[in-house]
Amino acid sequence: MDDTTDCDFLSFDELQSLLPGYRLDPEPLRTTAMSRVYLASDTRLHDREVAVKVMANSLAAVPSFRKRFLREIELMAKLEHPHVMYVLAAAEAKDDLLYFVMPRAEADLRARLAKGFLDPIETARVVTQIASALDFAHARGVVHRDVKPANVLFGAGDHVYLSDFGVAKHAVGEDLTRAGDAIGTSRYTAPEVYGASQFANSGILTDDALDRSGDVYSLGAVLFHCLTGERPFHQVDDFTAAQLQREGKVPRIAEVRPELPAEFDAIAAKAMSLDPAQRYQTCGALAEAVSRAAARSSRRGRRPARRRSRALTAAVLVAGLVLGGVSSYLAFGPDSEASAQYAVTEGSVEPSVPPVTGDDQVERTPVVGECLTSDDQPYVVVACDSPAAAKRVYRIVTDPEDPNPEQPKHDDAAMQACGQDGIVFRYHWADTALWEKREWNPEADRIYYFICYQEL
């Protein structure tokens, strides 16, 4: 849930008297709408360093909130997984003071990101561990519903733990959130989950709105934060951010870090799609895509830069280098009059970058729906009604399937990725062999992406 401090908590002295086995730090580490977390030492176990989560005193008297806190304890106790935070000790259901004790974390992801973004390899490592915990929980009928950096903890050796199952839903149990509750946290929780009852008539809910695809969305939002060091929609307030989410907008990583490959934006766009069915089917599938992209980004970073103009900015370097390899393919299709028509195809998305208008020309990676000049490297984006517009991008496919790996120019793969509805198309592509400047190896190499376009 969003962090607030509206509830009544016991004073430190009262709390310490009720927990004689633990020596609490005077100031809480973290306070939310329901609880506080204190760093402490377990005096009965050689002063082992722990963290104690205590429920707000006023809420502990409310049966529904008591059930929710006890459910969190139960889920953390049952979800025995290397990347799920676990319980060392806890109150009993009959106790007036509700609390549980867990190992002390060295840091959380929110605090780490306050110092700056993570590199792609480190991001992939964090996302992979979170995804492992989420898929484990999903397989056991548990949906987290509040995945965000503050709930990602680091143990020794940067071992990642997923914590805070306070608003989690169990498939075989009662949903303990109430009608009208804002479930999760703005900017990270999927729009069909966050305040679900408030938007029941918005048209964006599915028959099973609170399913695991919501956690996939949240992990995509965490991915954005890791790579940029900024919260999703960081430039607007929470109300506006929630509205943008309900409209299906996805924040662009390239707007904050244009030096990163465009495929990270494609991954985030898929994970944070407004339609749950269009997202990755599992958190593990999202993590795999991030890991592949990070590995490629690392390899690219070690490659010598190609010859280029000194006037190019960092963003232009990315557009030129990441989208470096270019080939074209003309499909067999209808006559030229029909082929000149442009249709938005399945998988196309509304560009989330500022539109290029008038006579402006911007050197960067294109997005679906934008127009380009005839230049191939770097790409030059122009308004589609500009006299300089020569081609229109209608689809971008990352990690495409290759039905015929023996083809070094990927004709069949391009047809499968771009050639729908019999249209005449061309494409830009890049693969591992092209990047490393060697011959294509059908047994080991792979295609990075296709940028599908029609000539105007």
Select the highest-mean-pLDDT range: 65-74, 218-227, 300-309: 218-227
Q: The CATH number of the domain where 244 resides is what?
A: 1.10.510.10
For residue 373, what are the contacts with CB-CB under 8 A and spacing of at least 6?
Answer: 361, 380, 382, 388, 389, 390
Domain assignment present for residue 228? The answer is yes
Are residue 135 and residue 277 in the same domain, yes or no?
yes
Whether 3 has a pLDDT exceeding 60, the answer reads no
Q: Are residues 145 and 278 in the same domain?
A: yes
Mean pLDDT of the 305-317 span: 32
Query: Is-catalytic flag, 146?
Result: yes
Domain, as residue range, for 215 = 107-299
Domain assignment present for residue 5? The answer is: no
Supply the pLDDT for residue 315: 32
Same structural domain, 316 and 385 = yes
Highest mean pLDDT among 105-109, 215-219, 401-405, 416-420: 215-219
The predicted pLDDT at position 431 comes to 86
Same domain (yes/no): 137, 51: no
Tell me whether residue 271 is in a domain: yes
Q: Are residues 119 and 248 in the same domain?
A: yes
Here the tokens at position 170 are 């169990």
Examine the domain organization and report whether 396 and 424 are in the same domain: yes
Q: Are residues 84 and 136 in the same domain?
A: no
Instruction: Report the amino acid identity of residue 176.
Output: L
Residue 4 lies in a domain: no
Examine the pLDDT at 314 and tell me if it is beyond 50. Answer: no
Residues 129, 277: one domain? Answer: yes
Dump pLDDT digits (tens) for 88-108: 999 998 898 999 999 999 899
Mean pLDDT of the chain: 80
1 belongs to a structural domain: no
Quick check: is 6 in a domain?
Answer: no
Looking at per-residue pLDDT, the higher value among 3 and 187 belongs to: 187
Q: Which of 12-21, 33-42, 132-141, 308-317 has the lowest mean pLDDT?
A: 308-317
What is the pLDDT averaged over residues 283-294? 93
Same domain? For 312 and 421 the reply is: yes
Lowest mean pLDDT among 122-136, 211-225, 242-256, 293-307: 293-307
In this structure, the answer to whether residues 98 and 112 fall within a common structural domain is no
Q: Which of 25-34, 47-56, 420-429 has the lowest mean pLDDT?
A: 420-429
- Identity (one letter) of the amino acid at 440? W
Segment 346-372 mean pLDDT: 73
Contact 347, 369 (CB under 8 A): no
Q: How confident is the model at residue 302 (pLDDT cuts 50, 70, 90)?
A: low
Q: Return the CATH number at 25.
A: 3.30.200.20
Where does the pLDDT of residue 334 fall: very low under 50, low under 70, confident under 90, or very high at 90 and above? Answer: very low
What proportion of the chain, given as a percentage, has pLDDT over 90?
Answer: 42
Q: Which of 42, 135, 146, 265 is catalytic?
A: 146
Lowest mean pLDDT among 53-57, 230-234, 321-325, 398-402: 321-325
* 30 pLDDT tier (thresholds 50, 70, 90): confident
Q: Look at residue 123 in the predicted model and tell me its pLDDT.
A: 96
Residue 7 lies inside a defined structural domain of this protein: no
Q: Is the pLDDT of residue 421 over 80?
A: no
pLDDT at 264: 93
Among 103, 124, 156, give the residue marking a domain's end.
103
Higher pLDDT, 197 or 128: 128
Last residue within a domain, chosen from 52, 70, 103: 103
State residue 109's pLDDT score. 96
Between 42 and 367, residue with greater pLDDT: 42
Same domain, 366 and 411: yes
Question: What pLDDT score was predicted for residue 170?
Answer: 81
Answer yes or no: is pLDDT of 198 > 70.
no
pLDDT band at residue 300 under the 50/70/90 scheme: low
**206 vs 142, higher pLDDT:** 142
Total domain count, the chain:
3
Report pLDDT for 174: 56
Averaged pLDDT, 281-301: 86
Q: 99 and 114: one domain?
A: no
- Give the model confidence (pLDDT) of 396-414 as tens digits: 888 788 888 888 889 888 8
Task: Among 55, 72, 103, give the residue marking a domain's end.
Answer: 103
